[in-house]
Amino acid sequence: MYNAPNSDGTVGKAMQVLDQVASFQRPVRFSELLANSPFPKPTLYRFVQTLTNQGMLTFDAERQTYSMGIRLVSLAHSAWRHSSLAPVARPYIEDLAAKVGEAVHLAQLDNGHVLFVDKCKVSDHFETLAQAGKIAPGYCTGVGKAILAFMPEAEQKKALDQQSYAACTPFTLTNRAALVLELEKVKTVGVAYDREEHEQGIISIACPILTRQSRVLGAVSIATSTNRYQIEDLENQRPNLLKAANLIGTEAELWQFPTWS
């Protein structure tokens, strides 16, 4: 997903290795990495060593396995605090979650994929950290469609090319044409719906977070289960959702001008 067609140098390759380790979702041995690696043995070996030195990976000497290093957690702390909408949006999504009594998601788009940067659910607050950082496809989620619909055309085109259009559920839009049509509707209506397109039984209403210049920063959504509500019920929350998105948008804008206005 990140491995650009033409890599940029040694650093790019190292990042590729990082991704690879991450993709295993568990501690991994050198030989396992090697088996799925485009790099020859000594090259991969050096990368892994370097990354370990740097704290981007950690090596368990007992088990001879590598996993993601905690330096990443600390770098990401910084990223989250200073490059995501989450810190400014926090009070608003909390508020919204409390008001509607359902899960509220906050997302940004990252290379065509929806990155959940925060989540707020009244019933169990502690799911938060586990969810922030999660990645989902853009073409079949409410937040994804909301962001895509409001992107500048050139960027949108690029992002649309990156979607897989795999059928997550029977309701998923599985081709680009259908998605484009849907996005047009989203743009005129102002909100996007996820009608069980990503996960069966889960629906959501999402709207983009825009600056005053109509640049899309991210999206907020209210998600719920079909056991409890239907799309029509979510529709009732639309004013609340729009208000929250609007507040976040204006505040984020202010926050982007720290000293020099």
Partner DNA sequence: AACCGTGTTTCACTATTTGAGACTACTTAA
Partner DNA sequence: TTAAGTAGTCTCAAATAGTGAAACACGGTT
Site residues (CB under 8 A) for its own copies, limited to 168-197: none
Task: Find the shortest distance in angstroms from Cβ 15 to DNA.
Answer: 11
Contacts of residue 221, Cβ cutoff 8 Å, sequence gap at least 6: 104, 105, 107, 141, 142, 143, 146, 194, 204, 205, 206, 207, 241
Task: Find the shortest distance in angstroms from Cβ 192 to DNA.
Answer: 34
Under rule CB under 7 A, which residues in 12-51 are in contact with DNA?
A: 13, 29-31, 34, 39-43, 45-47
- Is the CB of 58 or the CB of 169 nearer to its own copies? 58
Cβ neighbours, 10 Å, residue 32: 16
Under rule CB under 8 A, which residues in 135-174 are in contact with its own copies?
A: 135
Is 154 near DNA (CB under 7 A)? no
Is 212 near its own copies (CB under 8 A)? no
Burial of 1 (0-12, 13-18, 19+ CB in 10 A): exposed
139 binds, among DNA, its own copies, none (CB under 5 to 8 A by kind): none
43 binds, among its own copies, DNA, none (CB under 5 to 8 A by kind): DNA
Spatial distance between the Cα atoms of 224 and 204, rounded to a whole number of angstroms: 6
Under rule CB under 7 A, which residues in 61-120 are in contact with DNA?
A: 64
246 binds, among its own copies, DNA, none (CB under 5 to 8 A by kind): none
> Sheet holding 28-29: strands in order across?
28-29, 65-68, 57-60
Spatial distance between the Cα atoms of 6 and 132, rounded to a whole number of angstroms: 30
Of 33, 48, 100, 115, the residue at the interface with its own copies (CB under 8 A) is 115
Whether the Cβ atoms of residue 192 and residue 145 lie closer than 8 Å to each other: yes
Q: Which helix (H) or strand (E) holds 206?
A: strand 202-210
Is 71 near its own copies (CB under 8 A)? yes
Is 53 near DNA (CB under 7 A)? no
Spatial distance between the Cα atoms of 89 and 92, rounded to a whole number of angstroms: 5
Q: Which residues bind DNA (CB under 7 A)?
A: 8-11, 13, 29-31, 34, 39-43, 45-47, 64
